[in-house]
Structure 1
Amino acid sequence: MSDKGYNVGYGRPPRETQFQKGQSGNPKGRPRKKGTVELDLDQVLDQRVRVQSPGGSKSMDTREAALRMQVAKALKGNIHAAKHVLKQFEKYDAITPPRSKIQTGVVIAPRASFKKPERDS
């Protein structure tokens, strides 16, 4: 014991190894937050990439590659991918939704006169 009345033990380190007054326990401190990176989305989507396909590798822009991947997922049964693909097709007028064959309005049916069937007794 270096100081009288101070017991070294769990949660009570020796005084000489404790932080000195005015000295931080983390001298470098928390790292500074990195600034936002400005990203040109059109530049990224127009970037050319090589894609492997059954017929060999092809070069296409990122936008086309992403759409082809979504179409492939939709054909495998992924309903979310199918919705996304259909929305993209509608957005760029690649397809038009089918017109409804059901016309709305009021239908007036002629009143029928029903006769009670005669019973054979």
Structure 2
Amino acid sequence: MTDDDVGYKKPPKSGRFKAGVSGNPKGRPKRKAPPLAEMINEVLNSEIAYRERGRMKVAMGRELDLRMLLDRAASGDVQAAALVLKILERLNRRGDAGVARIVIRDWLPDRPGQTGVQKARNQDSRRGRDASQHDERE
């Protein structure tokens, strides 16, 4: 047998894949998000026009859902009231859902190669604290 033999599991050399070239250049397609979840998020994040007391207003879908739920709870719907209380309990357990403001001062290094620990020790010594107190907190 020679290298030029053609037969079972031996295709001709002209029909074989070239070395270094993929047989599937585009690769496996990326997995798409479930379309139902995508549609629900799209609707809840979109602006919706509605009429309130004769005036046209615009609000986000999530806000309208919450307003409708609160209206149903206020009108005596026990299930809606239970859901409102459940949502409030979750929010209180997680803490304030608002935006927290974090102020960072003096975060740039004073000299090249300075580490965060060294910077913290320098700041502690400037404030009159002993650097060893900082090590105990770590």
Higher helix residue share: 2
TM over 0.5: same fold?
no
Instruction: State the TM-score, normalized to the length of structure 2.
Output: 0.37
Larger Rg: 1
